[in-house]
Amino acid sequence: MDLLLDIKDLVVHYETEDSDVHAVNGIDIAIGKKRTLGLVGETGAGKTTTALSIMNLVPDPPGVIKSGTIKLEGKNVLEMSERELEEMRGNDVAMIFQDPMTALNPVMTVGEQIAESLELHQNLTPEQSLEKAKDMLKLVGIAEARANDYPHQFSGGMKQRVVIAIALACSPKLLIADEPTTALDVTIQAQVLELMKDLINNRDMSMLMITHSLGIVAEVCDDMAVMYAGRIVEKGTVDDVFNNMRHPYTEGLFNSLPNLKEQGEMLEPIKGLMPDPADLPPGCTFAPRCPYATEACSASVPELHSVDGSKTHFVACHAYSRPGFALRRNQK
Ligand SMILES: Nc1ncnc2c1ncn2[C@@H]1O[C@H](COP(=O)(O)OP(=O)(O)OP(=O)(O)O)[C@@H](O)[C@H]1O
Ligand code: NI
């Protein structure tokens, strides 16, 4: 696979006077060109921290990138100069967040805001920028006449479309979307996702989609990585993980989803809570909640290993060292 982004052994802590939060604990993830990777996991798993690291925007202090490399087309983001970083942000990588209002300026028209990003990154004249801004609006399904309106004149779904227009105006190679539809009505969510999917595909872009929702992963992603307490516990193509899942935590996520369970089966939410990343248990951090755990699970941290020799599918779980082990879901 031709890689756009290649993250290796990333470790990020938030260090304050009274705690040391181990937010990201040595993750490896890669995104191929024209591929969309879904990063899923419970709240506090370290998803946003991972995303911010890619743009070298982890707030410091308290954030400290302890180790790792983040290569964007071969160049390590963590070693870029301020100037290179500015070039990269907006031009190569754009990020959109859950709440569109945090990204929009209430006292500028939406047309001006899209144009501003174009002027900044693409050396266009103000007139050219405004023209292109109108094109971008049309692209996200908003009439160009609305370019002169202010954010408060738009609905939530339209605001998020404007944010998408700003993010895509400079044709970045990678779009990072952090829960981009959680703040929207359910009916609007599907439309916005559909739009993003089309735009990404038409422009040969790659995307990192951060979400709690396996439904969204199924809808828009090619590949997925399941994150738990700052580690990747399973990753593969969406097909690998949906049809041949291996990690007990992944199984737990699927069992706790109403829409993905077969009818008649009982929902079983995962018992307990994710451990506090300032106080992680030794060994496999999922062991305290895992229905399959034995003592060996707490003795050492399981490494990611290939599932049946697969080149795409990996799992980090000690249980597979037991002969014949299979998840309940996979037992025939
Ligand atoms: N600025 C900060 N200072 C201290 N701790 C932080 C800071 N930002 C995040 N954390 C902690 O780091 C851990 C990972 O947070 P992160 O936001 O990356 O998780 P997430 O998977 O994106 O969660 P969510 O799904 O809720 O957005 C959490 O325990 C969080 O409390
Ligand atoms: Ni987050």
Q: Are 143 and 160 in contact (CB under 8 A)?
A: no
Candidates 14, 58, 226: which one to mutate for ligand 1, based on the most atoms within 8 Å of Cβ? 14
Q: Residue 44: nearest ligand to its CA?
A: 1
Q: Is the CB of 13 under 6 A from ligand 1?
A: no
Distance CA 272, CA 211 (A): 21
Q: Does ipTM come in above 0.85? A: yes
Q: Is the CB of 45 under 6 A from ligand 1?
A: yes
Residue with tokens 């995307």: 207
Distance CA 324, CA 98 (A): 43
Q: Residue 24: nearest ligand to its CA?
A: 1
Instruction: Report pLDDT for 263.
Output: 61
> Residue 255 corresponds to which tokens in the numbers above?
């069992």
Give the confidence band of 267 by pLDDT, cuts at 50, 70, 90: confident
- How many percent of the chain have pLDDT more than 70? 98
User: Does position 332 have pLDDT exceeding 90, yes or no?
Assistant: no
Question: Would you call 271 helix, strand, or coil by DSSP?
Answer: coil
Residue with tokens 């743009």: 55
Q: What is the DSSP letter of 277?
A: T
Give the confidence band of 120 by pLDDT, cuts at 50, 70, 90: confident
Q: Is the CB of 46 under 6 A from ligand 1?
A: yes
The residue whose C-alpha atom lies closest to atom 28 belonging to ligand 1 is 44
Q: Residue 178: nearest ligand to its CA?
A: 2
Tens digit of pLDDT for each residue in 17-56?
999 999 999 999 999 999 999 999 999 999 999 999 999 9
Name the residue with higher pLDDT: 309 or 265: 309
Partners of residue 27 on adjacent β-strands? 10
Tens digit of pLDDT for each residue in 158-178?
999 999 999 999 899 999 999
User: Does position 102 have pLDDT exceeding 60, yes or no?
Assistant: yes
Stretch 292-309: mean pLDDT: 97
Candidates 19, 21, 216: which one to mutate for ligand 1, based on the most atoms within 8 Å of Cβ? 21
CATH of domain 1-81+215-331: 3.40.50.300
Residue-range domain boundaries for the chain: 1-81+215-331
